[in-house]
Structure 1
Amino acid sequence: MATIVKTPSGTWKAVIRKTGWPTTAKTFRLKRDAEDWARRTEDEMVRGVHIQRSPAERMTVSQALDRYLKEVTHTKRPTTQVSERRRAEVLRSALGAYSLATLTPEVIAQFRDKRLAGDPNKAGIRIPRANNTVRLELALLGHLFTVAIKEWGLGLPYNPVLSIRRPAPGAGRERRLSPDEEKRIFDAVATYSNPMLRWIARIALETGMRSAEITTLRRSQVDLKRRIVRLVETKNTLPRTVPLTTGAVDALREALENPIRPIDTDLIFFGEPGKDGRRRPYTFNKAWLEIKAAVGLKDFRFHDLRHEAVSRFVEKGLSDQEVAAISGHKSMQMLKRYTHLRAEDLVAKLDQLSSKPRT
């Protein structure tokens, strides 16, 4: 039987002591509310379905994010840590004052809709957030709840993020590189003062490797005789071996023979030493932005070179499995989002097929 007592502050405290359960207590403004809570809680204990909600009621979303960043995000790759901290600040700003127990699917759905609609800027114009941006923010919040339930032992009956609709993923970019555009941008890159940018861009177009995979390459990972590169750390955490075209081999050979290579690093594409004296991968984003703007290709992202490479692999006749082995895509669905064939190339192929005699 629960004990209901009045506190010096005038509230009512319900205390439940039951064999097999830790002492449970909660304070209410009205005696009736304390009695109702005690009755429901004792009934749950008898049926064996009671969940200790107090820890989840005490921990706010802001506190949970702090713990998640310290215990979970800290174990992830540096680039992932940066993006998760940024998303965590968005969640903290909108939902940080809620306790985990009071964060309902309705509240999360309102957060989703407001983010998709966008916050008004100084001119009062709303700038909508991309579907994928909001999806990743909800994914972080959902995983936080999963960890809180499974690992932190907080009394949460379910994960509220799983009860709402996620924004549909955006369509894959269809930006292809025309022969004229390729000549313009690579001619401009070739004249840049640091030749490493030219080599990096060529390798990206020839192999479909991500920029981070290229800039973190070390000499021990490259085998020019066998024409392969062994990638250990990738975006999806799975190592893979990338075959090299002759163009990629030429670019890597020039990079490896770079006469100004310092002896204090094994990085192929190296930057200047930091304050701690360590050399880190070459950072080329600012130079790339300036060059593509100068040649009238502001809308062309460096990552589009990967899109272009993967599309060209398919156009050359490689199977989906062969392309995925090179690019590192985990699923065929993701591969299709990165692969865009030119309609005119398909027309030419159809003409070739139709011209063949039928047997």
Structure 2
Amino acid sequence: MATIRQRNDRWQVIIKRKGYPTQSKTFDLRKDAEKWARQQERSMDAGQWQDRTEAEQTTLKDLLERYSREVSSTKRGAEIEAYRIELFKRSSLAQYALSAITGRLVAGWRDERLKEVSSGTVQRELTLLGHVFAVAIREWCIALHSNPVSLVRKPAPGKARDRVLTAPEREALLGACAECRSPWIKPIVVFALETATRRGEILSLTWANVSMESATALVSGKTGSRKVPLSPACLDALRGLPRSIDGRVFPVTIETLKQAYARAVSRAGIKDFTFHDLRHDALTRLARKGFNILELRAISGHATANMLQRYVSIDAGDLAKKLASA
């Protein structure tokens, strides 16, 4: 039987049972103390009892920090994931104990986040958060009733973007990037426009994986590693770069790049054009130059043609010209 005793203005429960660690908890009301004691004893009788102390004393922020140290650091594109984790740590959700986080709380966070960013961004962030809880439950044995992210509906994917730069916009963007304080911003944008590589792949590229002789670069990211061809414009941009001590071709942080790029786009007077749109623009231009699907997939790293299709804009006017000349 549980022992319930009054201590000052509160009620303390102590449960001692052979084969289980002593359980103790304090409540403001006696009825809450009795209810908790019954729940604990029932779960012990059924052989379903779990020690939830860690879940009650660990906040989501604590869990995210551990995940960042032990899991994220071993992944490709660790810097991108570290950035997302920092965003989570600054949210109100991160202050809750793990045992207090419900599907309703996660859904509330999702709805607020959708007011700030695209549905695709929220999908990726929910996927990360879901994996954080999955690792906590399966590998770290933190006693949670369920993964709260699995109880939440993910937002529908947004419409595929088809934004590409016009020739004047491309010239204006590169000119604005040249005005940035960092000498790496314009070369990064040139590299993205010429190779269709992702931001994380660009920022993790090292000089050891660049071959100026064969005009190729080995990039690594979320889909593994692949070699991409380097155009003459790309090679010229690389030749003019200073060498960094850490061996990276572009030694800048994600946040520095995000802010510098956003300011450059604004100075150039360009509307609605994200850094990721550079990849879309690059693949569309390569397709117009006559690269076939297999060649485009080798460059982009897409697993299927359907995934690649979201990044290539085919203009009906261009097709009409092909028909006329056929």
Higher CA-based Rg: 1
For residues 300 and 71 of structure 1, do their structure 2 counterparts lie closer, same or farther at Cα, with a shift above 3 Å needed? Answer: same
Question: Identity, % of aligned pairs?
Answer: 36
Tell whether 2:19 aligns with 1:20: yes
For residues 130 and 305 of structure 1, do their structure 2 counterparts lie closer, same or farther at Cα, with a shift above 3 Å needed? Answer: closer
Task: Give the SS at the match of 2:310.
Answer: helix
Partner of 1:178: 166
Q: Any conservation in 2 of the 1:210–1:303 contact (CA below 8 Å)?
A: yes
Partner of 1:85: 86
For residues 10 and 341 of structure 1, do their structure 2 counterparts lie closer, same or farther at Cα, with a shift above 3 Å needed? Answer: same
Q: Any conservation in 2 of the 1:148–1:154 contact (CA below 8 Å)?
A: yes
CA shift at 1:156, angstroms? 0.7
For residues 64 and 199 of structure 1, do their structure 2 counterparts lie closer, same or farther at Cα, with a shift above 3 Å needed? Answer: closer
Larger RCO of the pair (alpha carbons < 8 Å, separation 6+):
2
Partner of 1:156: 144
- Residues 184-193 or 159-168, more deviating: 184-193
Q: How does 1:282-301 map to 2 (within 5 A)?
A: 293=266, 296-301=269-274
Task: Measure the CA separation in 2 of the matches of 1:193 and 1:60.
Answer: 39
For residues 163 and 249 of structure 1, do their structure 2 counterparts lie closer, same or farther at Cα, with a shift above 3 Å needed? Answer: same
Partner of 1:336: 309
Q: Any stretches of 5+ residues in structure 1 without a counterpart? A: 119-127, 272-279
1:36-71 alpha-carbon deviations (Å, 9 max, x no partner): 443443332333322222322233334434444454
Partner of 1:305: 278
Partner of 2:96: 98
Task: Give the SS at the match of 2:197.
Answer: coil
Question: What one-letter code is carried by the residue in structure 1 that aligns with 2:277?
Answer: D
CA shift at 1:23, angstroms? 2.9
CA shift at 1:329, angstroms? 3.0
Question: What one-letter code is carried by the residue in structure 2 that aligns with 1:151?
Answer: E
Q: TM-score, normalised by structure 1?
A: 0.70
CA shift at 1:6, angstroms? 0.9
Partner of 1:9: 8
Task: Give the SS at the match of 1:239.
Answer: strand
Partner of 2:105: 107
Q: Any conservation in 2 of the 1:217–1:267 contact (CA below 8 Å)?
A: yes
Q: Any conservation in 2 of the 1:61–1:100 contact (CA below 8 Å)?
A: yes
Partner of 2:235: 252
CA shift at 1:241, angstroms? 0.9
Question: What one-letter code is carried by the residue in structure 2 that aligns with 1:109?
Answer: A
For residues 4 and 320 of structure 1, do their structure 2 counterparts lie closer, same or farther at Cα, with a shift above 3 Å needed? Answer: farther
Q: Any conservation in 1 of the 2:126–2:149 contact (CA below 8 Å)?
A: yes
Q: Any stretches of 5+ residues in structure 2 without a counterpart? A: none
Q: Any conservation in 2 of the 1:189–1:197 contact (CA below 8 Å)?
A: yes
Q: How does 1:176-325 map to 2 (within 5 A)?
A: 176-182=164-170, 200-210=188-198, 213-214=201-202, 217-231=205-219, 233-234=220-221, 236=222, 238-244=224-230, 248-249=231-232, 251-252=234-235, 255-256=238-239, 258=240, 293=266, 296-316=269-289, 318-325=291-298
Partner of 1:274: none
Partner of 2:135: 147
Q: Any conservation in 2 of the 1:69–1:85 contact (CA below 8 Å)?
A: no
Q: Any conservation in 2 of the 1:208–1:305 contact (CA below 8 Å)?
A: yes
For residues 36 and 319 of structure 1, do their structure 2 counterparts lie closer, same or farther at Cα, with a shift above 3 Å needed? Answer: same
Partner of 1:277: none
For residues 134 and 309 of structure 1, do their structure 2 counterparts lie closer, same or farther at Cα, with a shift above 3 Å needed? Answer: closer
